[in-house]
Structure formats: structure tokens, C-alpha cells
Structure 1
Amino acid sequence: MTNYTIKNKIFQHYRVKLTTILITFFFLFILPSHSNNVFAIYDPLIVLNNKFGIHIIDESDLDDAKNLVNENGDWGYVTLVIQKEDRNTVKWQKVFDKLREDHLIPIVRIATRPQGSNWEKPNPDEIDGWVSFLNSLNWVIENRYVIIGNEPNHAKEWGGEIDPVSYANYLKVFSQKLKSRSNDFFILEGALDASAKNTKGTMDEQEFLTKMVTSVPDVFENVDGWASHSYPNPDFSSPPTDEGRESLKTYQWELDLLKTLSIKKDFPIFITETGWSQKNLTEDKIGEYYQYAFSNVWSDPRIVAVTPFILNYIDDPFKDFSWKKQDGSFYKFYDIVKNFPKVKGSPTQIDKAQILIGIIPHDEIADKFFPFTLAVVNQGQAIWDTRKINITGNGIEAVPIKASAPETVTPGHIALFAGIGKVQNFAKYINNFLSIENNKKIISNKYYFNILNPEVSPSPLNQFINNIIWVLTTHLKN
């Protein structure tokens, strides 16, 4: 009888019984949806990165966003806003899972709530609640991009006040608390309005930043990237060839300003708002501008993401910025950007598995072959293709997987793997183990088991242990 025939007979003999046993275990575990292990942020510019993105206001726009930023590429960005009264973990986990499936990287801007004509001033006492909420989510990739605030040099964005000192303290405390919970949080400051003047309702960005740094010198200690609203002003209508403050290169002016304030960090750039208004420009002209900008301006290697404002806003006050028309179709510049050559991004995801239980007959082997079935939970961020998962281990030869179900496993869900292993060397008791391997990397715990040599009589103690295992296994089988 060939080894292949032996392995198939063993596999067929145990497949139904072992799978039935394992299904029982599904109801014996309360599985975490994700792991809260601390890792650390990575530099998004050292991996393949698709910097194309878009700003959205509603998760119903995700399909259109995916079609825009991932055509001819993969893993583009979306900037989205979460208001404090919308901190529903179940809702936002579903959104994040959708982003994961669509290969979209979220940049999350936190917000308070509208209060008359202003946005409510953030309350430092609510920071802990924000941190707990943000940490409760299983994020799409290892870097958890969070923007703290929005244009705080506008009074309407800070409860009707202009208070750079208050914002600096808020940013410092918020960033510290996020980092204390997880080093995966990649923190961006609230982008400022570089075109704002010193008026009753606004403050010049240079003065605002200077007061922030003077009052709180280490305000940017835990900030990892620079968020910029690099709009082509005045009137959101200037050509992309302009430079300096109030241009597409506003971010460069801001970085230069930071150096004069003794901020020595070399921040990667996130242009979370930009774009042209159709109030003064045709859609054809805007299309030309986007073509030039992505080719000659946003090609800057320091830029991680460009998310123009805004994909779908067909009413006032932002209808002139919308990429989508009232009839549901898109302006021409949508297709221009959609068809633009892009990079197939490869962001870092946490890939982690936990072998919950294994059914491995410890003393029923044939010609050193033994069957196994494993129940494994996906505790990471990546979606598994189980056809590409390998089983490896110690004390056995390479293990071919005979079956797995289902073929695709999202985080928080369980997969079953069944196959045949071969013992390399017998002893009275060998501490063998199996592990899960994905993309040539071990991602799971070691699941230990023992294989007895039927030709070697175990010690009385080991025989007693074996009998207990046999009784328990038989009870479960029945």
C-alpha cells in the first residue's frame, strides 16, 4: 500500500468525526474580535504606497471611493469624520470591516458636534472616552491614522473661540493618551487654514502655531505626521503651478515654518483636504489641474496621502467641491483621477492566529502518518485565503492541508484545517507542535501534542494520562 493510499484512508476515516467534534467547540469559546497587543507604527513611505485618496462624509460612499482610488492600483485612502455622538463600536467596526474588504485605508478625523453656527469646543474630560472607543476597533492596517481636531484657527471650529493654547494642551494630552493605550496610533494634528487672516473669527496660521509651540513646547512630541489643507487659493481657483502659502504646496510652507519654531521632526505629509471649486472653474479645467497636480506636485515622495474634498456633497455649502452630481453621475475629473496610473499599495497588517483546539489521535497512526484537525481563529487584521495557509511544526514533516473551511476568513472568525502529518522520529513521548504559517511567517501559538510509538510501551504514569485522554476524547466523539 502506498503512502498516498495510507494517508487518504486515514484522512477519510477521521474527517467526518473530527470535524463534528470541532464544530462543538465553536459554542464553547467567546472569541475576541481582535487583539489589543501593542505593536508600533511603521513608516508608510517605506512600503509600496498608493497615495490616491478622497474625503467622504458618509460610509455609503465607500464603493464610489474604492472605484476612484483603487482603479489601476490598490489600497488607497479615505478621510472620514466620526462625531462624538456617533461613537458606536458595532457600527464603526462594520465600516472598518467594509474598508478592509475594499482595501481602503481610513484616516479618521474626530469631531465634537454642531452647536448653533459653531462646533462644540472639545472637552478634555472626554478624551478617555475617545481613546477607549478608538482602541475598541479592529483597525484596517497596523497604522491607526487619527486627526485630532479641524482648523482650530477658526473660532467656529472651537466653540466660537480662538485659543491656540487650549488646542495645544488638548492635542498634547490626547496624543499622549492614545500612545499610552497603543503605539499603533499614528497621530496627525488638526490641519490649519493657511489662508485665514487675523479677524474676529480666524487667526493667521503662523501666529497660531507660534503661540501653540511657545505655550506647549513639546506639543508635537507624540504627533507622527503632518495634516495639511493645501488649497489653491484665493477662491479655491489658483492653478497647480503656484507655489508657497495658499497653494497646493502650502504643506511645504508649513514645514518650513515648523523649522523656524525649532520643530525638528521630518513629518510625512497627509494632504487631507485640497481641491478646486467649480464656482469659478469648469470641470474640464479642474480635470486638467488634477492631472497636473498628481503628476508634478503630489508626486513629492514625502506625501503619504492626498484626499481631496469632497466626493459627494450635492447641497450647500460644499456643492461646488463635490465630485458627484445631483443625478448620481460624476464630473469628468472623477474619471480622470480614476484612470490615473497608481501604485498597488502594500500596507502592513497585523496577521495573528490562535489555534483553539486540535484533534490529533495520539496513538492511532499508520506507517508514521497521523490525521489532524485544527480550529483556528483569525485574531489579526488581514483577511485570510486559507488555500495559502500552511501548517508547520516540530517533530513532523511538512504537513499538507487536505481541506479547509471556509476559503476566506475575516478577523474574528474561525477556520477549520484538516490534513495528514508524518512523525519524523519516535520516542516514548515527543513534544511535537503545530503552528499556522501565512506568507512564510509563523502567525500563531504553538499547539503541542504527543504521538506515541505503538511499539514502545509507555510508563505507568504515561499510560494513566493516555487513558484519561482516551476517555475524554471518546466522550466527545460520542
Structure 2
Amino acid sequence: MLKKLLLFLVISASVARAYDPTSVPNNRVGVHILDPDEISQAAKLVNSSGGDWGYVTIPMRSNDRDRDKWLRFFQNTRKLHVIPIIRLATFPDGGTWVEPNAADLIDFANFLSDMPWPTTNRYVILFNEPNHSNEWGGFIDPRAYATFILDAKNIFKSRSADFFLLSAGLDMSAPNSATSMNVLRFYSQMTFWQPLWQTFVDGFAVHVYPDSRAGIISYRKEPVGHKPVFITEVGWVGQPDLYPSALKQIWTENNIVAVTPFLLQAGAGEYAKFSLIGSPAYSGLMALPKITGSPLLADIVISPDITPTYSPPLTRSANRRFDVRGGGIGGDISKWVEIINNWFNHTGQLTLGSVTINVEIADTESKRQRGLSNRTSLPENTGMLFIFPKPGRPNFWMKDMNFPLDFIWISGGQVVQLSTNIPATQPPVTLTPDQPIDQVLEVNAGFIDKYGIKVGNEVRRR
């Protein structure tokens, strides 16, 4: 869990972690949309005929993380009882989608951590069809994608263990060519380079168009094992009324969590032939008897005043491809994750009395909420400095911390209060300063005694 400021975030004493969605009553019917404003129409479809808590798959681009728009979307999913599946995406540059990198993962993880998800599970698809070069910066690289999944796990799970990560749906009809790779070969090479890559994800997104080699059962050819499967793209040209029979007679495996046909509506353009609205399939899906889903609901309440901070998407020139084949810019992407994470975190130095330490700066609501959550340790003689826009008496708690801390409470450039050896226990300890403060320094337990920190010590930030 995350250690959070109680002033802005309310969480029940017992917070569930990502759970198996097939372990509760589950309405598998969903739909794929392209615009957050389509959520009301989607809800009418997926929750029709006795259904509740159906699914919606929607892409989120790295250059379209408008906070107000997406905040409304997530609030509406709770209001309308729809479970969102967010498919991460970059943006097109010519005929090719820009290749994502670890910096994109950090941006998405920070942004999505600040959203009011309706359910405990936060479903995220790790981009789209990397076995096509035009979906991945002009390259086909199973090794890079396998390592990318590992980086995604480390980055997202460090923000919240509630993130339920899904591998990208692949194009099951892709041949081996200069611009694409057969699915079985792509998975085989992923496994060669990262034998445990399947353990890095919580489930699989799959695409099962009828023109693929195995048709709408092509997911059975994928290495999904017993993990949850999300059919996030399926569709017929003209969308005939085939979904009821497929849902009842073909997609019957117990580990199939959701089926989100592509596409609710596309307007004009290349996807118009897949639009459900106005097709026989729409009426068939509306009339299909559904069940009342009962997902575990998130009980997070976020203040509308919270404004998350995240880095803007990299430009095309800066979005350099990591050389995962060795040489060049430096080996596997994972080697760069920590460097990029540190780069995106605001850091500095702080002098207390006679000792100077390196500190991470938490000067936005999202950073203060995240704090030192889910870290296994804090390097010796370092800390995290929480900076507040105005003096106050904020509440801190030790929920889901993995090591004890000392708290140094600061006001007007001086230490005004000390809290030593605060344990990482359950139920979590809650702390509030005795007087208004404008900064708080968290350090490893024992730091105050080791360096003789006293009330009245001067504090200077470099």
C-alpha cells in the first residue's frame, strides 16, 4: 500500500490487493471505445439485460493525459458501474507509433496512480501489438518487449500493488516479414531472453479477429496458462450478430475475464466497418442476458484539489530507442530504469546542523501521497523531504511501510520537533506534529541519534 497524507486521501484500514477477477461474480461483457466521452453509451450496452459492472477498453495516449478529462472518465466509470481497462499508447509519427520507453512507463504510472479507479484492480494493458514494427517505433524486438514488461512491473507495482498488468494483445494474423513477426515466434523469443516474463504480468490481453490463423479461438495458441485472459479486441466487418453465440458456446473458459468487441463507434475512417452502433451485433449484445458483476470496489476518495505532476511526453528526437542487443546506448532497458526514475524525481541536498545528506524532494500532492511507499529500504544517510505550500499540521501514517523511520519536523528553517524510531507495524502508526510545520524530513530510524539532531538545529537546503 501507499503511505499517504490523510488530509487528502481516505483509505479503509484493510485495503485489498490485486485479486483474481474470476473469483467473484463477473459480467464478462464489455466494449472497446476510443473516447472517454463514450462511457455513457458503453455503460448502456455492457450493463443491459440484467448486467452490472461490465468492462470497457480504452486507449490512453502519452500526449493526451489531460487530468480533468480523465478524472471525469474515472468518476463516471464508478457512477455508471463500468470497469475500465486502460491500454497504454504513445502517438503516431508518420505511419509509425513512437516506441515507448521507461520514461513513458513512469509518466503513466504516476498519472494513473492519481486517478480514482472504481475497483480495487487497476487494469492496464502494456501497449499494443509489438509484433508489428509500425506499432513499436519501426522495430520488432521480442527481447526488448520482454524486458519492457519487467520494467513495467517494477514501476507500476512500486506505485500500487493494485495495478493489474496485462501483456499487449498481439496480431495473431501477422506473418514473419520485415515489418512483422509471427506470434509463436515472438513469444518464443521473449521466453528465450526472459524465461520468466509471464510472471511479470497478472494476465493477458488477446486479439482474436476471425481472419487470424486460428480465428476467434486463437487465444488458445498463446502461452496464457491459467492466468486471466482479456479478449480486448474482436470484431467482424459489418459486425454480424455473432457475439451471443460466441460468448455462450466458444469463449467459455473460466479464465476469460472480459470480452470487449472492437468497436462501439468509429465514425468515418478505416474503423467504420467495425462499428457496433447501427449493426445487428449491437442489438444482439443489448439483448444478451448478462449477470450482475460484483467486483471488489476501491474505497479511495481523492480531493478534487489534488493536481498530479508528471513529466511531458518525450519528443521524437528525444525518444531514442534503447539498444537491447548490447553495445550502443547500453544494454537492457532495466539498466536505465533507476537512472530515469531518479532523473524524474526532484533531488537535492539538505544540511541539518553539521550533517549534509542527499534528499528526494516531495513538493507536489502526488509525490507527498506516494512518499516512501512500498520501498524495501532507504539508502544510508539519505532521506525524503516533504515540502508544503503553507504551514499546517498534516497527518502522516506508516501504512504499508517496510522499515522504521525517524521524522524531523521543520518550520521556518529550523527543527521544531523530533519523532524517533517510528515502526512499520500493523495497525499503522499515525503521526501529527504538535505545531504547524512547512517541511518534514523522513530518514532511516536511528539517524537522529546517530547525528545528534536537536530541536533548534538550523536546516538549509542546497
TM range (shorter): 0.5 to 0.7
Kindly indicate whether residue 14 of structure 2 is the aligned counterpart of residue 46 of structure 1: no
Compared with structure 1, are the counterparts of its residues 353 and 116 closer, same or farther at alpha carbon in structure 2 (3 Å cutoff)? closer
Q: Secondary structure at the match of 1:186?
A: strand
Find 2:284's aligned residue among 331, 336, 356: 336
Q: Decide which structure has the larger Cα Rg and report it.
A: 1
Whether the 8 Å contact between 2:226 and 2:255 is mirrored in structure 1 is: no
- State the aligned residue count: 298
Task: Give the C-alpha shift of residue 151 in structure 1.
Answer: 0.3
Match of 1:225 in 2: 203
Match of 2:387 in 1: none
How far apart are the structure 2 equivalents of 1:139 and 1:304?
18
Find 1:299's aligned residue among 252, 260, 274: 252
Task: Give the C-alpha shift of residue 194 in structure 1.
Answer: 1.1
Q: Secondary structure at the match of 1:203?
A: coil
How far apart are the structure 1 equivalents of 2:199 and 2:216?
26
Q: TM-score, normalised by structure 2?
A: 0.61
Task: Give the C-alpha shift of residue 38 in structure 1.
Answer: 6.3
Question: What is the one-letter code of the residue matched to 2:59?
Answer: V
How far apart are the structure 1 equivalents of 2:246 and 2:38?
24
Question: Root-mean-square deviation (CA), in Å?
Answer: 2.3
Kindly indicate whether residue 232 of structure 2 is the aligned counterpart of residue 272 of structure 1: yes
- Per-residue Cα deviation, 1:140-162 (whole angstroms, up to 9, x for no partner): 10000000010000000001111
Whether the 8 Å contact between 2:87 and 2:125 is mirrored in structure 1 is: yes
Trace 1:80-99 onto structure 2 (pairs within 5 A): 80-99=58-77
Trace 1:287-436 onto structure 2 (pairs within 5 A): 287=241, 289-324=242-277, 330-351=278-299
Q: TM-score, normalised by structure 1?
A: 0.59
Match of 2:8 in 1: 32
Find 2:157's aligned residue among 167, 172, 179: 179
Task: Give the C-alpha shift of residue 191 in structure 1.
Answer: 0.8
Unaligned runs of 5+ in 1: 1-28, 235-244, 259-264, 325-329, 355-444, 447-478
Return the structure number with greater relative CO, CA threshold 8 A, min gap 6. 2
- Per-residue Cα deviation, 1:59-86 (whole angstroms, up to 9, x for no partner): 2211211111101210000000110011
How far apart are the structure 1 equivalents of 2:87 and 2:300?
27
- Per-residue Cα deviation, 1:275-320 (whole angstroms, up to 9, x for no partner): 1112xxxx5xx11x22211210123222100001011112221111
Whether the 8 Å contact between 1:230 and 1:251 is mirrored in structure 2 is: yes
How far apart are the structure 2 equivalents of 1:222 and 1:58?
29
Q: Secondary structure at the match of 1:233?
A: coil
Q: Which structure shows the higher helix fraction?
A: 1
Match of 1:423 in 2: none
Question: What is the one-letter code of the residue matched to 1:319?
Answer: A
Trace 1:138-157 onto structure 2 (pairs within 5 A): 138-157=116-135
Task: Give the C-alpha shift of residue 30 in structure 1.
Answer: 9.3
Compared with structure 1, are the counterparts of its residues 77 and 196 closer, same or farther at alpha carbon in structure 2 (3 Å cutoff)? same
Trace 1:195-210 onto structure 2 (pairs within 5 A): 195-210=173-188
Match of 1:55 in 2: 32
Whether the 8 Å contact between 1:230 and 1:273 is mirrored in structure 2 is: yes
Q: Secondary structure at the match of 1:248?
A: helix
- Per-residue Cα deviation, 1:402-444 (whole angstroms, up to 9, x for no partner): xxxxxxxxxxxxxxxxxxxxxxxxxxxxxxxxxxxxxxxxxxx
